[in-house]
Structure 1
Amino acid sequence: MTTTTTALAIGEPQPMHNANHIFNAIHSSMRQWGSSLHHNGMSFFLASVPKGVKLYHGETRSDPISRIGWMAFDPEHAMVFARTPSKQPSHSVDSESQQVINTPAQTGWLHTYATTEDLRLVYIDGTSAGKSQIGTLDLQDRVLFEDKLEHGGVSQESARARAICEIVQEEWNGRIDGVIRMAAGFEIILCNPEQKLDTVNIARVTLPSRDSAKKSGKPGDLLRTVTSRYHGIGGDRVIVNYDAFVTAYDYGLDLFHGGSKHPRLAHLPSSSLAPIRDDLTSLVMNHDPTTRVINWQGVVDMVVEKYGRILRGLVSGHHDDQAARLEFIIETAERILSPFIDRDNRDYYAEIDRCASQFIPTHAPKDSLGYRAVYTVGSRICSSLMAVTEAKEYGIVTTILQDLMHYLDWSVWKECYGCQDDEFCAVPIWPQGSQEDYDHPRCQKYDSAFQGDNDYWGPVWR
């Protein structure tokens, strides 16, 4: 039985193309871990930062910021940009470089601000502040900026910030205050910060020198902060609105051109991308970022938490006694499905529906992207488990489960465990990391991480 037949039989929405990718975009949103693995963001979300949240800005000057502010959520992140002018990777709109330079100990200015009201923001998912030519900037440069900026990475960051604030004022009537992006940590490009922030403190701080034994890479304190946000920014400092969002996955586009593992927009004509931008404008103009009905990330989390370890356990390892293993897998699938089966009134379609919608709130609008993605992914999981219970051969069962896991592609399956207190599970975090780090993340020490080939992102895009 196909999920399409199931949906039509019980009156549910048509299963959606790319539901797995939309599901993962929801799951990884505002999380450093998943957004580093699913790094080519294809989605725009509305988000808000509540009143009273502290934000940080690293600078070479003590003057309060104005016009455009680059804000970090953690002081360790901001302090990277508080270096002397000659070697300063400033987040100033006049800066032409954000490169972090290894320097001796020096001093700079750390600005601490607090939001005076809820900030209304557009969150660009993935590693959307990564200056790489492998697709991290596709959504911004091709959709948001309509190919109007000069071709470039770091050298065009100031132009991107200015363009964002021009769009905010000229096209969105000031309904949005800026954008959230992520690279090594999350940042806000905030328009007119002097109108939205109170100054808490501006202090001259000493910036520790790099460990001379560490030839390159991010300081350990920064890595500790960045990786502490693997599973969320924390403290409800950012609230993402999942009731309506815009994603390139929902436009029937050939995003995985030529069998690409990660989605790209570079090869697509501008005309095919224009509807995405139009819908983003409509989203901004017709929805309030601060009003959220359903937390679809919470729903997605429950699905991943229920099935993630079970599925990995069913396909892991080599087993000599295939008959016994087959019996175990089938029994496990039957136990999972048992709560959704009425033994006196068997109905395949109703059983899949009850299983697929277990965590979906009953008042959720069935035409929403969140509903359609979660229901389609849930249907795929449940129908695959049902197929397992009906299979008679070990090879068929393992193929069903492996195909399911390939389709789901959950980031939790790459997490490594057992890291010591001075270690973290290392995946490529722009601009560092290797292909091996991506394929097989492993525990690395904070103070000596990423010492191998940093070949994953390619050269920093200047």
Structure 2
Amino acid sequence: MAVASRRSCRAPGEEFAGAHATKKLISPKIIHLHVMRLLRWSRNEFLFWAILAIGAQETPHTSSTTSTQTLAWDFDVGPDLNTTNHLVFDTVSNLFQHWGNTRYRNGHTIVLSTVPVGTLLYHGTYKREVPSKPGWIAMDPEHSYMFCQTEPTGAQTRADTDQKPAGCWHLTLATTRPLKVLYFDGSSAANMEGGPMDSQDILLWGEIKPEWTFQERKRIDELCKWGKELGLDGFVRMEMDFEIMICDLSDGIEMVSFLNLVKGDHKMTYPHPKKPKTSSPPPPSAADIRSSPDKMHVLQRAIEAGTWHNSYPGDRRLHLDPTRLVSFYDSERFPSLAALRVGQERWEHRLKGLDAPDLAAFRARLREIIEQHDGEGSGVDWQTLIQTIIDRYAERLDVLRYLLKSATGEEDAKAAVGQLRGMLVPYILYTSTPSSASKNRAWASPVYEYCATTHTRFIASNLRVSAKLTQSEQLLLSSIQGVSKEICRVVAGMWAEGVELGLDIILPSQSAPSLPALGSVMSAVHRWQEQTDYLMEWLDWGVWATCRPACEYEEFCYMPTWPFFERRQRRNFRRLEMENMNDPERRLDDDEYVLRPQPICLRRVEPFDM
């Protein structure tokens, strides 16, 4: 299998250019702006292609194409085996969303973000003392309440040690200025070996340090020391909910309240043998939580708060800047990781093995995005654009898969082709009709092309926009183009075959050709089912990872998250292992339910069943 390597950069949209372009006079001012912007980009190859593109605008497809353009829209040519367009697309779509980052814990994206003025933040502790050194604050009070514990044994200063502890202390804070924070995606606050903390380790120590997985004090102190010279206020991570590793609670933050709250269960124990040495004890272990209904209630509400941010738009109290983003799925920038991913499932993707040149490139690029001036970039709302594409295809592809799997005859096949047609209606030209002279469904290439370029054509071809793209935006544009192209290649290809089989009528005036034998139709249906399964597995959108059948009203769909892995999940995977014992490729080891979490229904009203 080929391994991804450093490749020459393309001008934005060059791979997906229209079949023809017309020359358009551009003012010297615009040309000067474009060239000066290009000169600031670090990749020299980009300059060459972009200058060639000046003055060229994409225009509607005509009936004739060159051989090169025909190849670009060949239904039989799929993406490179080592492409990461779909991985960049999906990770960016999940930023600041809980579901996708719980499903795939090993983060690959670091993005500069801000916490706006007036945002409330929370901190639970066992004593009435505002932390004077770097500490952890929560975005939701249900999360911080887990840390709102009674004074640990041996730390009491009361004369009467037999006296029952008097509640716990809960601090509410508010931001007085925008806080500049760096966000690590994935379950980056999960103290687990296997990858969740890789990006932090690489940033701090240049290598993975599994022996320091639980050294949270060391981690936060060194992160804040590194970030201080760059003007960072903290770092955002996620476990059952989002948290901020804040470097200075006295800078840009004011106290709103410091309340002595009722503690549900004052007999809280700790998962580690040593007493905590910081102002906030560690969270209780899963076993400890399950031993008490009161603790179960605390856990349930914390997990519930995390689910509020499961899907788009995620936690909107955190404002990310996609123009200032580093993705380890950028194979051109980090080719050493591309080689290591060959043959791996996405669950196994890690940063372990990043070589010295790529490490240097990462550190330089990260510093560059932090020091970049505010307001640079094209102004494109990238997350909304990505979500627009997901909204357009996610449910429709799911319905298509259902129709194909349940199809038993010609009428079912027609329904499936109708579903395909529904996705392509805005791109089916009046002249898009099959002909005997057309080979390889070439007559449908204009449909394929328009479908693939509709969301990015303007961004890629308009100089006023493309000249302002940052390197991070170039990566995002490329990923959206690649994902759109593959969706449309598969969808338009299946539809075109259905038309040729007489299962759809393109124009009202066209009479339907005689249908082929049922065997030919069902062979096509089975082929489409395989292609749809492939496409959905390749895209791997989290919206399809859900509880099936849907949960009852008193339940919620739960994706197992650190450190509270639901016990029934283990039993479910052991059942699957028994069913798959004779299939070596599908056998599941003991920790499969942790390594590859799958959604499960849990009660959301008492009594809880965690």
Name the structure 1 match of 2:396.
Answer: 310
Please give the per-residue CA displacement for 1:300-345, whole angstroms capped at 9, x wherever unaligned: 1111111111111111374351433332222221232121132237
Name the structure 1 match of 2:191.
Answer: 131
Name the structure 1 match of 2:558.
Answer: 426
Shift of the 322–248 alpha-carbon distance from structure 1 to 2, 3 Å rule, reads: farther
Name the structure 2 match of 1:381.
Answer: 487
Please give the per-residue CA displacement for 1:72-109, whole angstroms capped at 9, x wherever unaligned: 11111111112134279xxxxxxxxxxxxxxx996221
Look up the equivalent residue of 2:240 and give its one-letter code: A
User: Is it true that 1:372 corresponds to 2:478 in the alignment?
Assistant: yes
Name the structure 2 match of 1:159.
Answer: 218
Shift of the 233–338 alpha-carbon distance from structure 1 to 2, 3 Å rule, reads: closer
Q: How does 1:195-344 map to 2 (within 5 A)?
A: 195-209=251-265, 219-231=299-311, 236-250=316-330, 251-252=334-335, 253=337, 254-256=339-341, 258-262=343-347, 263-288=349-374, 293-316=379-402, 318-319=405-406, 321-344=408-431
Look up the equivalent residue of 1:351 and give its one-letter code: V
For 1:180, what is the secondary structure of its paired residue? Answer: strand
Shift of the 135–257 alpha-carbon distance from structure 1 to 2, 3 Å rule, reads: farther
Alignment check: 8 A CA contact 1:107 1:206 kept? yes
Unaligned runs of 5+ in 1: 89-103, 452-462
Alignment check: 8 A CA contact 1:127 1:182 kept? yes
Name the structure 2 match of 1:100.
Answer: none
Shift of the 449–311 alpha-carbon distance from structure 1 to 2, 3 Å rule, reads: farther
For 2:406, what is the secondary structure of its paired residue? Answer: coil
Name the structure 2 match of 1:86.
Answer: 152
Superposed displacement of residue 40, structure 1: 0.9
Alignment check: 8 A CA contact 1:323 1:394 kept? no
Determine the C-alpha separation between the residues in 2 that align with 1:148 and 1:411.
27
Superposed displacement of residue 360, structure 1: 4.5
Shift of the 82–107 alpha-carbon distance from structure 1 to 2, 3 Å rule, reads: same
Determine the C-alpha separation between the residues in 2 that align with 1:345 and 1:314.
23
For 1:80, what is the secondary structure of its paired residue? Answer: helix
Q: How does 1:10-49 map to 2 (within 5 A)?
A: 10=18, 17-49=83-115
Shift of the 399–148 alpha-carbon distance from structure 1 to 2, 3 Å rule, reads: closer
Determine the C-alpha separation between the residues in 2 that align with 1:286 and 1:450.
49
Determine the C-alpha separation between the residues in 2 that align with 1:380 and 1:71.
42
Alignment check: 8 A CA contact 1:58 1:79 kept? yes
Alignment check: 8 A CA contact 1:424 1:443 kept? yes
User: Is it true that 1:74 corresponds to 2:140 in the alignment?
Assistant: yes
Greater relative CO, 1 or 2 (CA 8 Å, sep 6+): 1
User: Is it true that 1:65 corresponds to 2:131 in the alignment?
Assistant: yes
User: Is it true that 1:354 corresponds to 2:450 in the alignment?
Assistant: yes
TM-score normalised by length of structure 2: 0.64
Determine the C-alpha separation between the residues in 1 that align with 2:14 and 2:496.
17
Alignment check: 8 A CA contact 2:183 2:235 kept? yes
Determine the C-alpha separation between the residues in 2 that align with 1:144 and 1:119.
21
Of 267-276 and 119-128, the range deviating more from structure 2: 267-276
Unaligned runs of 5+ in 2: 1-9, 20-48, 51-71, 73-78, 155-163, 266-288, 434-442, 460-464, 498-520, 574-592
Alignment check: 8 A CA contact 2:132 2:249 kept? yes
Shift of the 28–116 alpha-carbon distance from structure 1 to 2, 3 Å rule, reads: same
Superposed displacement of residue 24, structure 1: 0.9
Greater share of strand: 1
For 2:192, what is the secondary structure of its paired residue? Answer: coil
Look up the equivalent residue of 2:561 and give its one-letter code: I
Look up the equivalent residue of 1:314 and give its one-letter code: L
Alignment check: 8 A CA contact 1:132 1:153 kept? yes
Please give the per-residue CA displacement for 1:44-67, whole angstroms capped at 9, x wherever unaligned: 111111101110011122222333
Superposed displacement of residue 291, structure 1: 8.5
Determine the C-alpha separation between the residues in 2 that align with 1:292 and 1:38.
30
For 2:250, what is the secondary structure of its paired residue? Answer: helix
Alignment check: 8 A CA contact 2:204 2:222 kept? no
Superposed displacement of residue 235, structure 1: 7.1
Alignment check: 8 A CA contact 1:59 1:109 kept? yes
Superposed displacement of residue 348, structure 1: 5.3
Determine the C-alpha separation between the residues in 1 that align with 2:554 and 2:603.
6
For 1:151, what is the secondary structure of its paired residue? Answer: helix
Look up the equivalent residue of 2:528 and give its one-letter code: V
Superposed displacement of residue 409, structure 1: 0.2
Please give the per-residue CA displacement for 1:144-194, whole angstroms capped at 9, x wherever unaligned: 43238672222x111110111111124x2x2x2111100110001111220
Please give the per-residue CA displacement for 1:1-23, whole angstroms capped at 9, x wherever unaligned: xxx99925538999892111111
Shift of the 349–369 alpha-carbon distance from structure 1 to 2, 3 Å rule, reads: farther
